[in-house]
Amino acid sequence: MSEYRLEMRGVCKSFPGVKALDKAQLRLRPGTVHALMGENGAGKSTLMKCMFGIYKMDQGEIFYEGKKVHIGDPLQALHMGIAMVHQELQPIPERSVAENVFVGRYPVKKLLGFIPVVDHAKMFEDTARVLKEVRMNFDPKQRLGELSVSQMQSVEIAKAVSADCKVLILDEPTSSLTAAEVEALFRIIADLKSKNVSIVYISHKMDEILRISDEVTIMRDGKYIGTWDAKELTTDKIITQMVGRELTNLYPPRENVPGEVVLEVRDFTSIHPRSFRNVTFNLRKGEILGVGGLVGAQRTELMEGLFGVRSHSKGEILYKGQKLHINRPRDAIQKSIAMLTEDRRGTGIMGVLSVEDNISIASLDHYLDFGIMINSKKVDALVQENVKKMAIKTPSGKTQIQSLSGGNQQKVLIGRWLANNPDILILDEPTRGIDVGAKYEIYCIIAELAKQGKSIIMISSEMSELIGMSDRIMVMCDGRVTGFIDGKDATQENIMALATQFE
């Protein structure tokens, strides 16, 4: 009997113009948490998709329970006892929680003794049992689209647990979870370990890795670098192996000097009574204004209201003293306001289109000849400039964006708005799911934009990021602004105190 539950040996996988995996390997022991780490584009998710049957390996072998196996598709992987929670959620929002948990494997009963139909009663009962097992208080009959992104991620975790798996792949499972939800996830992981389940845990959050992992495998540029006992590692050692160099500063020096007020928001209130209300703040030229708060504080909803995605019942927005009427995103874009959304897959990228299309889509009006024809040469030059400036890893501008890693997709989205040369840039969780090296690059871009006089509003759930990057921090709780903190005076404690200041 092998000491490993699952082994991947010499895995190679290429896409047009790029070798994503080059003789990669992984060995999982029963009843352990095995962290898989590396920068965006290192091949972590690609390796897991080969294990789960989403991608077909060009070369390599998989051994499961000591026997060589071929995993042709995800359904076969599930039947073998391998489950995966993806970094990019793929919910079916119009169906119930239960239908999402059991999609593709609904319990069936025979109607009139021979007609197979879905056994809804059993499905709801089994879903309720699984949700209780993972300590999630959702109604199995509730429409999934009514839940938040973090709650949808919790449902995905419940879905994986319901498969009674022996190997569970968690790809950035805490990227949208609150601190309380993260603790609940860690309890689930501990329960699964006690049941001898092997867990692959992909995350860029070093504190999580060092806290829950037994072993750590690090990849770089599609290659296997090594595997270590988690107790032997420190954050610095992990970063050095991931990026191939030492990173001495997590945040760039702030050289921006905030100037006059350019944006004023007064008494801004949503049409929905349980959303943002009576919000008043200002934003200065060249300022980075951080926005802190717990999930549910309505930070995203507020910024979507300012950008014209959501309607408001009262309040006003003034730009350089002039009142703005923003009823839709087009109005905001025309007033030189840009917004990078939190949900990269759902409201950010256009997956079937190219990198070029995704970068240029918001600024095509600037590249028209005679007002009607797109000047392809100018668009190509724009795309090449942004690919170089953002250090986007892509074979070419014609590559479909969905084939890029999450971090590179995020860089494309930032490049999209920079191409439009906005004066005000709203960034909603700009480094979510991005590795430490790419984070620093994005921080440098944000700092440089502020230095150039651009005004930045940055929502972040990482308090260290807020403290490290913000000139001021606006904290919200339950739809209200509960206070402002000067960046120099900010601590995790005083941010949290304001973030939990309920009425």
Residue 272 CA to residue 186 CA, distance in Å, equals 34
Please report the pLDDT score of residue 40 as a whole number. 67
- The Cβ-side half-sphere exposure at 482, using a 13 Å CA radius, reads 21
Q: Is 33 helix (H, G, I), strand (E, B) or coil?
A: strand
Asked if 497 contacts 491 with a C-beta cutoff of 8 angstroms, the reply is no
Residue 428, beta-bridge partner list: 459
User: Within 10 A of 250 (CB to CB), how many other CB atoms are there?
Assistant: 15
Residue 37, beta-bridge partner list: 218
- Which residue carries 């050095």 as its tokens? 240
Torsional class of 203: left (φ above 0), alpha (ψ -120 to 50), beta (otherwise): beta
Asked if 354 contacts 16 with a C-beta cutoff of 8 angstroms, the reply is no
- Matching CATH number, 260-336+422-503, of 2.60.40.1080, 3.90.79.10, 3.40.50.300, 3.10.450.50: 3.40.50.300
Query: pLDDT digit of tens for each residue in the chain (503 aa)?
Result: 578 999 999 999 987 667 889 999 999 999 999 999 887 678 888 999 999 999 999 999 999 998 999 999 998 998 899 999 887 667 888 999 999 988 878 889 888 888 889 899 999 999 998 888 777 778 999 998 888 777 787 788 888 888 888 999 998 887 667 777 788 788 889 988 998 999 999 987 888 889 999 999 999 888 999 999 999 998 888 878 877 755 556 789 889 999 999 999 999 999 998 899 999 999 999 999 999 987 778 999 999 999 999 999 999 999 999 999 999 998 998 898 999 887 777 777 887 788 888 888 877 777 787 777 888 888 888 888 888 877 788 888 888 888 787 778 888 888 888 878 899 999 998 887 676 777 888 898 899 999 999 999 999 988 888 999 999 999 999 899 999 999 999 988 899 889 888 76
Q: Is 227 helix (H, G, I), strand (E, B) or coil?
A: strand
In 3D space, the residue among 287, 319, 290, 296 whose CA is nearest the CA of residue 306 turns out to be 319
- Matching CATH number, 6-243, of 3.40.50.2300, 3.40.50.10490, 3.40.50.300, 3.60.20.10: 3.40.50.300
* Alpha helices, DSSP H, located in 350-405: 355-360, 376-389
Please report the pLDDT score of residue 55 as a whole number. 93
Tokens of 468: 């490290």
Residue 380 CA to residue 386 CA, distance in Å, equals 10
Burial state string for 50-75 with b = 16 or more CB within 10 A and e = fewer than 16: bbbbbbebeebebbbeeeeeebeebe
Please report the pLDDT score of residue 303 as a whole number. 95
Domain ranges of the chain: 6-243, 260-336+422-503, 349-421
Please report the pLDDT score of residue 39 as a whole number. 74
**Contacts of 81 by beta carbon, 8 Å cutoff, 6+ apart:** 163, 164, 165, 166, 167
Residue 69, beta-bridge partner list: 62
Q: How far is CA 105 from CA 100, 108, 123, 145, 258, in A?
A: 10, 9, 10, 21, 56
Q: How far is CA 296 from CA 97, 175, 192, 304, 341, in A?
A: 20, 15, 29, 14, 16
Structural element, H or E, at residue 255: none
Asked if 436 contacts 37 with a C-beta cutoff of 8 angstroms, the reply is no
Residue 491 CA to residue 405 CA, distance in Å, equals 33
Helices (H) and strands (E) in the chain, counts: 16, 24
**Contacts of 297 by beta carbon, 8 Å cutoff, 6+ apart:** 476, 477, 478, 479, 499
DSSP per residue, 179-213: HHHHHHHHHHHHHHHHTT-EEEEE-S-HHHHHHH-
Domains 6-243 and 260-336+422-503 share a fold: yes
Residue 90 CA to residue 88 CA, distance in Å, equals 7
User: pTM value?
Assistant: 0.62
Please report the pLDDT score of residue 17 as a whole number. 63
Q: How far is CA 173 from CA 46, 54, 95, 195, 301, in A?
A: 16, 19, 22, 20, 23
